[in-house]
Chains A and B, each alone.
Chain A
Amino acid sequence: MKLKVIDAQRCVGCQLCMFACSRRSGVAGLSNSCIGVRSAGGMSKGFTVIVCRSCKNPPCARACPVDALEMRPEGGVRLKAEKCIGCGACRNACILKAVFWNHETQKPLICVQCGICAKYCPHGVLELRKGLEKEEVRS
């Protein structure tokens, strides 16, 4: 399963995806979101939707000095929170800026590709897809 931005042009910037991601843990607000919606240089220019691509050879995991990011066979990483020292090296290593940060716990926020964000996107911007490997090669 992999999260995919299928059409960022349809994004209206409502951020329901961000709230949904944060709400996974049962709290309201935005501190836990692993997805980001930002204007592409002002609201008139539309939005950039930042999601983790679950890289096969993830730079975030390579940058972690304490092996707190465990690689998943299908790509992407899992955070071992008990190992994490909150140094921020993973965040700096991700050029997509898809490693988000919880300022309350001082730990990274790593997308687990659960797709809750896509479930709450009312405008068809996001999708959780199965077996994306072939399409990835094409695009």
Chain B
Amino acid sequence: MTHAYPTKVLYIDMTKKSYKTVERPELFAQYLGGTGAAIKLLDEHCPAGIDPYAPDAPIIFSVGPLTGLFPLASKTVAMFKSPLTGNLGESHAGGRAAQAIRMAGYGAVVVTGASDLPVYVAIHGSTVHFRDATSIWGMKSLFTAGSIIRAGEPGAGVRSIIRIGRGGENKVAFGSATTETYRHFGRLGMGAVMGSKNIKAFVISGERSIPVEDKKKYRDLYDQIFKAAVGSPVMKKYHDLGTAGNVRTMQGLKAMPTRNLQSGSFEHAEAISGESLAEKYLGRRLACAHCPVGCIHIAAVREPYENESYFYKTTMVGYDWELIYALGSMLGIGDPDGMLLLIDEVEKVGVDSMSAGVCLAWATEALEKGIIGEKETLGLKLAWGDWKTYIKATEHLVNQPNDFYKALAKGSVHAASIYGGADFALAFGGNEMPGYPTGPASYLGFLLGTRHSHLDNAGYSLDQNAIKSGKALTPPQIVDELIKEECWRQILTSLCVCLFARGVYTPEVVRGSLEVAGYSLSDEEILALGKTIYRDKYAFKIKHGFDFDALPKPARIFETPSPTGPFDLAFIDEGLAYAKKRIGALLAG
């Protein structure tokens, strides 16, 4: 039988500037692709104890068997050793990267080595070029670097350009990589790992066909998924307001992370809400390749030039919930223009918006409390709401002109380990928090989730259910639910399905789409595979130093009132002890 899943892995050696393609059908037959294939490849290439910036440390990109076949399978999974946490780095990006990698003929790309000079890597179908990027290294904005690469490369319309900014070049531990201007491998520092290898960008393109054995079944299932996607109220919500719609929800729950989570309520929430931004700023919506939803919201921000009348600069700034929380309410910024301009700055330099926002929020509180002074901030009077000063601080964070900013560029936990203030450094497992401080299930999810993404675990929705029903779960109940859901989501992320579409990709649709792609797996086998992938990720984490007993929990999360009601350290510790036992048993087989 013909199968429609990918078989090829592209190996790129940046030191030798050479490449080879290896047929590995068993990898995709056994692990599907995405997260499943990536963790295998990462484990093959990333030995315990390796420095995340060592030339031998790999970057893995992986796509799924449904990419190019069905809508919404548009994510690319990247894995690497995170310079921020020193452990498993997993970051997923939308845009056109997944389609481009698959259409270029690959299921995965493994990048090792380091180039002597800045280069960008152009992958067009079966050919890889190493192009000199010295002239665009250190460029102020990664948008400009992107447009220069765009002008010189083929593949318009079917290519992806994954590039870093100064954040990645200067090895800010949470330096990100941007694809198609508005999508990111945002979290955990993949941009910094690219920077350490002297890679400014990857350009990838290709146009292929993927043969399908049962054409009728393919078309019918395609139409079923397409109809479910365009008819779903959840998808409409993502199209209309996008995740920015969460502002009102979170404010309503009193879970709006405000001024370094000193409060769950922000008095200017309405001004930066999805409704308000859509009404006053929304200029365009964009979609990832092969996704009918179009959840990417772009604001048009108009700024007058100071000395010239009737002359304006219009900047198109992407926004969503995570950016609004991290660079808005978390910093006390309620002026939407200011918030959008700060977002634009963070985008131009190429650092993770959540880590950047949380680090600046920690620094602001540290300055308020006198733990640090203006000697450390180089004269900047960081103050809630003062977005102009935060723009200047972002420049310092990226350029690292003194020891303080050097420390902050390694993350809030690292900075707090030097200056103090760990109780209000809002990071979990070394990674700054996502914007869902709804209660204990969320925090256990941040601490135990293998990807450090709220999207991979059910913590937020468990808290929401507890709030609605008034029935609190015990720590073991929470952990059981988190593990169960995360195992299932390993299947979705191995298929590279966007987790916004998890309601469309029901177990039945997953089984059917896998059949079209040439697999023959029962529901039980699919669930077992999810568990295996989850186990493999934990095995990697533990091999690289993850310790259930050594996870810091900032005291702030127990102090700020939680919408689920109060909970304490003992509650969280009970959950972690139970998880250690359960995951230990899973690893022991």
Interface stretch (choices A19-27, A73-81, A126-134): A19-27
Interface stretch (choices B150-158, B356-364, B400-408, B493-501): B150-158
Nearest CB of chain B from residue A37's CB, rounded to whole Å: 6
Q: Is B288 in contact with A31, judged by CB distance below 8 angstroms?
A: no
Asked if B146 is at the interface of the complex by the 8 Å CB criterion, the answer is: yes
Q: Is A42 in contact with B209, judged by CB distance below 8 angstroms?
A: no
Q: Is A103 in contact with B207, judged by CB distance below 8 angstroms?
A: yes
Taking Cβ atoms with an 8 Å cutoff, the residues of A that contact B are: 12-16, 19, 22-23, 26-33, 36-39, 41-46, 103-104, 120, 122-123
Bound-complex Cα distance A46 to B181 (A): 12
Bound-complex Cα distance A126 to B405 (A): 51
Given the contacts A16-B71, A28-B68, A28-B69, A42 and B210 also touching, CB distance less than 8 Å: no
Nearest CB of chain B from residue A102's CB, rounded to whole Å: 8
- Dominant secondary structure of chain A at its interface with chain B: loop
Nearest CB of chain A from residue B143's CB, rounded to whole Å: 8
Q: Is A28 in contact with B292, judged by CB distance below 8 angstroms?
A: no
Interface stretch (choices B164-172, B279-287, B381-389): B279-287
Given the contacts A16-B71, A38-B157, A43-B180, A31 and B207 also touching, CB distance less than 8 Å: yes
Contact of B68 among A26, A29, A36, A38 (CB under 8 A): A29
Residues 570-589 of B contacting A (Cβ, < 8 Å)? none
Q: Please count the residue pairs between chain A and chain B whose beta carbons lie under 8 angstroms apart in the complex.
A: 99
Residues of A within 8 A of B71 (CB): 16, 19
Q: Is B181 in contact with A44, judged by CB distance below 8 angstroms?
A: yes
Bound-complex Cα distance A37 to B146 (A): 19
Query: Which has the most chain A C-beta neighbours within 10 Å: B99, B207, B316?
Result: B207
User: B472-499 toward A: CB 8 Å interface, digit per residue (1/0)?
Assistant: 0000000000000000000000000000
Nearest CB of chain B from residue A33's CB, rounded to whole Å: 8
Bound-complex Cα distance A51 to B212 (A): 26
Asked if B222 is at the interface of the complex by the 8 Å CB criterion, the answer is: yes
Q: Is A31 in contact with B209, judged by CB distance below 8 angstroms?
A: yes
Query: Which has the most chain B C-beta neighbours within 10 Å: A19, A29, A33, A123?
Result: A29
Residues of A within 8 A of B316 (CB): 44-45
Asked if B147 is at the interface of the complex by the 8 Å CB criterion, the answer is: yes
User: B295-332 toward A: CB 8 Å interface, digit per residue (1/0)?
Assistant: 01010000000000000000010000000000000000
Residues of A within 8 A of B230 (CB): 122
Bound-complex Cα distance A39 to B156 (A): 8
Asked if B208 is at the interface of the complex by the 8 Å CB criterion, the answer is: yes
Given the contacts A19-B290, A44-B316, A120-B226, A28 and B212 also touching, CB distance less than 8 Å: yes
Bound-complex Cα distance A15 to B291 (A): 8
Contact of A30 among B103, B125, B146, B211 (CB under 8 A): B103
Q: Is B287 in contact with A31, judged by CB distance below 8 angstroms?
A: no
Query: Which has the most chain B C-beta neighbours within 10 Å: A27, A31, A43?
Result: A43
Asked if B447 is at the interface of the complex by the 8 Å CB criterion, the answer is: no
Bound-complex Cα distance A28 to B68 (A): 6
Contact of B209 among A13, A27, A37, A120 (CB under 8 A): A27
Given the contacts A29-B210, A38-B157, A43-B181, A13 and B292 also touching, CB distance less than 8 Å: no
Closest to B315 in A: A44
Q: Is B68 in contact with A42, judged by CB distance below 8 angstroms?
A: no
Residues of B within 8 A of A32 (CB): 209
Q: Is B209 in contact with A104, judged by CB distance below 8 angstroms?
A: yes
Residues of B within 8 A of A30 (CB): 68, 99, 103, 158, 207-209
Residues of A within 8 A of B289 (CB): 13-15
Q: Is B287 in contact with A12, judged by CB distance below 8 angstroms?
A: yes
Q: Is A27 in contact with B211, judged by CB distance below 8 angstroms?
A: yes
Closest to B156 in A: A38
Residues of B within 8 A of A28 (CB): 4, 68-69, 209-212, 218
Q: Can you add 5 more A-B contacts, CB < 8 Å, to A13-B289, A30-B103, A30-B207?
A: A16-B71, A27-B211, A28-B218, A44-B181, A103-B125
